[in-house]
Amino acid sequence: MQNRLKERVVRHSPSRGPGSPDVWGIYEPDTGSIQYIAADPATRKAAVIDVVWNFDPKHYRLDTGSMDQVLDIVRENGLTVEWVLDTHPHADHLMAAANLKQKTGAPMAIGEKVRDISKIWAEIYNLPDAFDPTRDFDHLFKEGETFKIGEIETRVMLSPGHTLGSITYVVGDAAFVHDTLMYPDAGTSRADFPGGNASELWDSIRAILDLPGETRLFVGHDYGTAERKEPMWEATVAEHRASNIHVKDGVTREAWIDRREARDKTLALPDRILAALQINLRGGRLPPAENDGRHYVKLPLNRF
């Protein structure tokens, strides 16, 4: 999807009181991704969520600018990272999880169904032994599992549809809903990648919209619209139910699925996907170096 927004933006959503996290959103313009820091204001303990390892697909070069920016905000606000979290193995950017674990010492986690996603992509790449999420992540979250960020109770919701193993983190009154919803004026995310399913995505979105109306929802991407040139990523459940152009109250399941599937048929593959999945399914690690000391990715021709 074309990204109309070209500037990095950082925005703070303050805690609303006990049990409510401070949230920083850090916009990465090359991929339209929003990276997050969720912090307990009482303990200054934090999780970083869906952080980007920058990758230039024109030159196949990597740099750490986005993760460095996230860590600068962590330091500037006196935070301690105790979790490195991802919501799913992203198709449009490289995940920074392994690098962040090395820099912070915090464990890295994702949903347990990444095991099933890895099997799909192992077949696509013809790399049957390449991916082992149990080896490459410190924790694989189950549906309904709880843990804490500082003293704030955090719950995991399985939210399939964009991928079969995407998860949502509900951190107090904030939910990190990744590639399910977009900002209300942009609607919803695609469901056509291997293992994706529009019907399942509808169910995931409706479960998210059944959270309390004041819950702050933080989406995974924004590309702007023809009218809006400023990146946006935060809206409440109530705001989505009132005005999301795809799934506001009154839209039927069948109408949305028809609209989503028709739109998805027009979308090209993200330009980073074939490199990204090969790295992200290793937790953000490059494939093992070959005998020349260099790392290589494998690209399946005529597969898509």
Token readout for 16 is: 């609303």
pLDDT of residue 8: 84
Phi, psi of 277 (to 5 degrees): -65, -30
pLDDT score of 167: 98
- Fold classification of 9-276 is Metallo-beta-lactamase; Chain A (3.60.15)
CB atoms within 10 A of CB 208: 21
**Residue 2: its pLDDT value, please?**
53
Rounded to whole angstroms, the Cα distance separating 273 from 304 reads: 11
What Cα–Cα distance (Å) separates residue 140 from each residue in 58, 109, 134, 135? Answer: 33, 6, 7, 10
Q: Given this model, what pLDDT does residue 4 score?
A: 55
Cα 70 to Cα 7, 172, 268: the distances in Å are 15, 21, 30
User: What's the number of CA atoms in the CB half-sphere (13 Å) around residue 102?
Assistant: 10
Residue 1's pLDDT is what? 54
Take residue 133 and report the two structure tokens written for it.
């999420």
Nearest CA-CA partner of 277 in 72, 69, 120: 120
**Phi-psi category of 91—alpha, beta or left, where left has phi over 0 and alpha has psi -120 to 50?**
alpha
Cβ contact 121:268 at 8 Å: no
Q: CA-CA distance, 225 to 235, in Å (whole number)?
A: 16
What is the mean pLDDT of each successive set of 10 residues along the chain, which is 304 residues long? Answer: 70 97 97 97 98 96 96 98 98 97 98 97 96 97 98 98 97 98 97 96 98 98 92 98 98 97 94 96 97 96 92
Six-digit token string for 240:
């989505």
Contact between 44 and 79 under an 8 Å Cβ cutoff? The reply is: yes
Instruction: Parse the chain into domains and list their residue ranges.
Output: 9-276
- The answer to whether the CB of 85 falls within 8 A of the CB of 46 is no
